[in-house]
């Protein structure tokens, strides 16, 4: 398995980083998890061909995780992509297509076939991927109820590959409790800003060979990383080629 972190910035944009995006190559499939602003530039920067991606998976609808999807769809059209592209969305698939129409982007006019799926279809089409819903968006429940919105507050974490050789991408989470079943893994890319520092440092007690902190960091966690973290912990590095070998 190979993966490249294309965007490791927190939600507040930074000059030297890009918003959340992760490219994974596993079992012959080329997958993009999240598509924050600037993702198209990163795909160009690292020479990822227009017909390379098999699927794009959006963990949740915060702008820093999916605002780049519209430009990417447009870029692939302008590049005359031909290969079918599968897009897995966290919720409200019909409303997403309405957003495409608002921008005068119509699937019928693309040079390639764009197929939109609910997230629950992902492990059916890609058995090497497991999904887990998280409570990252549950804090919006009251305003959603007050405004009588259709939002279902769905946010997802992912395990790619089989334990213990798997890669885990948490996207945004508050606690690690929701991904306990994924923690028998080789590498975890974990949200270091929203997640409580104590929950991240407790991962040092588990036999996880590599823990990659992304999406920012708290002052407490940064101090721990400087003075106490074991060698298995590191901050995400955009553009670095990471590998998980079958016998590593």
Residue showing tokens 């924050």: 36
Regarding beta strands 233-235 and 210-214, do their DSSP bridges make them parallel or antiparallel, or are they unpaired? parallel
**Helices 69-78 & 93-102, crossing angle to 10 degrees?**
60
Task: Compare 247 and 175 and report the one with higher pLDDT.
Answer: 175
Structure tokens at 68: 């780049």
CB burial of 25-61 (b: ≥16 within 10 Å; e: otherwise) equals bbeeebbbbbbbbbbbebbeeeebebbebbbbbbbbb
- pLDDT tens, residue by residue, 189-245: 999 998 889 999 999 999 999 999 999 898 999 999 999 999 999 999 999 999 999
**Residue 156 confidence (pLDDT):** 98
* CATH code for position 114: 3.60.15.10
Calculate the alpha carbon distances from 248 to 10, 162, 188, 228, 244 in Å: 30, 14, 15, 25, 7
- pLDDT tens, residue by residue, 44-55: 999 999 999 999
- Check pLDDT > 80 for residue 247: no
Structure tokens at 125: 């089409």
Would residue 21 count as lying in a domain? Answer: yes
Would residue 53 count as lying in a domain? Answer: yes
**Residue 138 confidence (pLDDT):** 96
Would residue 248 count as lying in a domain? Answer: no
Domain count, the chain: 1
pLDDT-derived band at 94, boundaries 50, 70, 90: very high
Taking residue 100's Cβ as centre, other Cβ atoms within 10 Å add up to 18
Q: Please, what is the Cα angle at 87 between 84 and 90, to 5 degrees?
A: 170
Stretch 6-14: mean pLDDT: 92
Percent of the chain with pLDDT over 70: 99
pLDDT-derived band at 248, boundaries 50, 70, 90: low
The residue range of the domain holding 81 is 2-243
Q: What region, left, alpha or beta, does residue 58 occupy, with left being phi > 0 and alpha being psi -120 to 50 degrees?
A: beta
Taking residue 106's Cβ as centre, other Cβ atoms within 10 Å add up to 11
- Check pLDDT > 60 for residue 38: yes
- pLDDT tens, residue by residue, 16-31: 999 999 999 999 999 9
- Check pLDDT > 90 for residue 246: no
Taking residue 20's Cβ as centre, other Cβ atoms within 10 Å add up to 34
For residue 140, give the 3-state DSSP assignment.
Answer: helix
In contact, 134 and 179? CB cutoff 8 Å? yes
Structure tokens at 76: 């692939």
pTM metric for this prediction: 0.96
In contact, 246 and 223? CB cutoff 8 Å? no
- What is the distance, to the nearest Å, from the Cα of residue 47 to the centroid of all Cα atoms in its chain? 20
- pLDDT tens, residue by residue, 96-129: 999 999 999 999 999 999 999 999 999 999 999 9
């Amino acid at each position: 398995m190979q993966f490249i972190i294309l965007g490791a910035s927190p939600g507040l944009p930074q000059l030297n980083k890009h918003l959340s995006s992760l490219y994974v190559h596993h079992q012959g499939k080329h997958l993009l998890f999240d598509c924050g602003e600037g993702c198209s530039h990163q795909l160009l920067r690292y020479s990822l061909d227009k017909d390379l991606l098999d699927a794009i998976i959006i963990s949740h609808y915060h702008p820093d995780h999916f605002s780049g999807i519209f430009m990417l769809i447009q870029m692939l059209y302008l590049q005359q992509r031909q290969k079918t592209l599968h897009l897995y969305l966290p919720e409200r698939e019909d409303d997403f297509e309405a957003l495409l129409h608002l921008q005068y982007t119509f699937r019928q006019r693309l040079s390639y076939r764009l197929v939109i799926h609910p997230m629950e279809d992902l492990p059916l089409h890609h058995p090497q991927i497991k999904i887990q819903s998280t409570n990252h968006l549950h804090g919006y429940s009251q305003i959603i109820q007050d405004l009588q919105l259709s939002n279902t507050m769905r946010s997802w974490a992912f395990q790619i590959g089989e334990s213990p050789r798997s890669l885990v991408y948490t996207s945004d989470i508050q606690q690690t409790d929701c991904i306990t079943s994924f923690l028998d893994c080789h590498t975890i890319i974990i949200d270091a800003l929203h997640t409580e520092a104590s929950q991240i440092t407790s991962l040092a007690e588990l036999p996880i060979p590599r823990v990659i902190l992304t999406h920012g960091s708290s002052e407490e966690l940064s101090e721990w990383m400087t003075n106490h973290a074991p060698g298995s912990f590191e901050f995400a590095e955009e553009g670095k080629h990471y590998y998980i070998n079958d016998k590593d």
